[in-house]
A and B are shown apart, each in its own frame.
Chain A
């Protein structure tokens, strides 16, 4: 269905490229901030403060460092992969065969 858009986007060169790249970078920066906060923030820098809170036997900072950060990483990559699929489609740069099917 997005195949038709594939052709619309060639000219004017430059503008759409810059826009696509900027959106990619913005998404990346947001996700990497979360990456930094859950691992280095919650797991290391503020681990002692968070450890004062206890949930299901786990001091919270300890939980982030040994469990929570890993779950978050997983979600971050999933969000990135899915959002980028959409962005690729929107700008007509997703990889498709002659019939417009995803490769």
Chain B
């Protein structure tokens, strides 16, 4: 066992020990003292939990690597995955909190109808499943590198760990475990970033110091035939960047496992403030990521440019075993590098290894490398567990219990949920081994699906009293149909042929168009059909005001002016 493997094992085992210990302790104290449970979770801790729940393998493992190769165009992920919180804080969280239903299908079921609820449950399963695939793949990369095995073996181990963790159960409910996971992942992300920033520029604040290497990066990139790092639209047209950013933003605001977290706050006010704390914690990583991408790329290029194949840095040999880094046969010196195996460059590097490999590339000591691996696992685990719970609750509660067996008891529902979870894991293993794209991109598809289905249904449900069940259902079906068709058309999914998109719109950006179609269809169909019943309109009116209405029954006054339509 090498030094790196030793430290990786230590940090992963240690961090897992901490999560399980905290979960066990919080349980004990909850049964021992009702007071603690009643007091709720402080807003700051809830924010950290949301951050851990939401920041997945895509944010931790994949994003900075993708930015390193996309340069300026990688900004879509940075803006897209943070800007959604503005929408969440202003348009959704406070109102859904006031409504008081615990999952998105439940809200939709009550606001619209049982049929829409089933549809929403199906959408929640599709979205969460796509997202889980990204986590499997990300976790698999961690294990395959540090155990020195191929990606398939890595994905199998990661899937096993994630499944065990989710089935251990209840963990998701324990906010403090996620606070610990956030702590592990942010420390693991910041320490190497600060060390590299200090090493390269002498300024230990990565957010500030990566400005100093951009010129150098452009210059060395040009030597190696790469696009200019800071040049906009070098790889993606403006229209597509716009659409992808929007899809990620409104997708964030529509993700079922994120929305559910805002119900753990005690008040409507708490949900607004939680959104602030969540984004604060998230932005610690998100403002560091572009710096990590830039520094890693510079170190990488400087380490290999014009180097003879026999004198390549050690990390390349370490990672070659995973099959994610490869040197072209018959090459003597490295003169070109690419993340695309089809490009035929001298050195091909998968985006997804860059963050994990960044301490190695910069020559940082073994403990830091191990710490980063533990951070990556924390990110994949905290998100995957939450997603598997959404899948299992949608299948067992919203679908099986509501639709198939209304008399199912708790035990039966739990069993159905576990089976759903197990099936999801098995299919996710297959998809995780043969992912249609890089981790961050796979995850971006999940956001596109959330954007085109839930976001419009929720926004209209909250802000437009006239929106009815038929409209919402038609909108969701239209949005999903368009988006899924386009994704399958443009991507190789389980063996379908790959095609060029239209107008340069990538499969990640189509969610925005899907959402627009959803809005339009929902509005037209609602207008053409009967308005929703009076009591629903009153419920929608009521969620606008955080406190219980100042005087009981005021909202039910029939002569209330029909105002406030937005």
Contacts and interface: CB of A to CB of B under 8 A. Distances in A.
B537 to A, nearest CB: 14
B238 interface: yes
B211 A92 contact: no
A10 B550 contact: yes
A84 B207 CA distance: 31
Interface size class for chain A? 35 or more
Interface in B540-566: 541, 544-547, 550-551, 554, 557, 560-561, 563-564, 566
A44 interface: yes
Contacts of A47: 72, 232-233
Contact of A56 (B211, B245, B267, B287): B211
A53 interface: no
Nearest to B241: A44
A22 to B, nearest CB: 8
The majority secondary structure among interface residues of chain B is helix
B339 interface: no
A71 B286 CA distance: 10
A101 B566 CA distance: 32
**Max chain A CB contacts within 10 Å: which of B72, B207, B286, B551?**
B72
Contact of B287 (A35, A67, A91): A67
Contacts of B85: 73, 77
Contacts of B561: 14, 18
A44 B245 CA distance: 9
B415 interface: no
Contacts of A91: 545
Contacts of B566: 25
A31 B88 CA distance: 13
Nearest to B561: A14
**Max chain B CB contacts within 10 Å: which of A61, A66, A96, A103?**
A66
B75 A40 contact: no
Contact of A94 (B79, B91, B213, B269): B269
B86 A43 contact: no
A32 B207 CA distance: 25
A44 B242 contact: yes
Interface stretch (B185-193, B271-279, B314-322, B477-485): B271-279
**Max chain B CB contacts within 10 Å: which of A6, A44, A76?**
A44
A81 B208 contact: no
B266 interface: yes
23 contacts: A10-B550, A10-B551, A13-B551, A14-B561, A14-B563, A18-B561, A20-B544, A39-B79, A39-B83, A40-B242, A55-B211, A56-B212, A57-B211, A59-B214, A66-B290, A70-B283, A73-B85, A73-B283, A74-B276, A74-B279, A74-B283, A92-B550, A94-B547
Given A22-B564, A32-B90, A65-B232, 12 more contacts: A18-B564, A40-B245, A40-B246, A43-B79, A44-B232, A45-B238, A47-B233, A51-B231, A63-B211, A70-B79, A88-B547, A93-B545
Interface of A: 6-7, 9-11, 13-14, 17-18, 20-22, 24-25, 28, 31-32, 35, 39-40, 43-45, 47-48, 51, 55-59, 61-63, 65-67, 69-71, 73-74, 76-78, 80-81, 84-85, 88, 91-96, 102-103
Please give me the 10 A-B residue pairs with the lowest Cβ-Cβ distance, nearest first: A57-B211, A65-B75, A10-B551, A66-B290, A81-B272, A58-B211, A10-B550, A93-B547, A47-B232, A93-B545
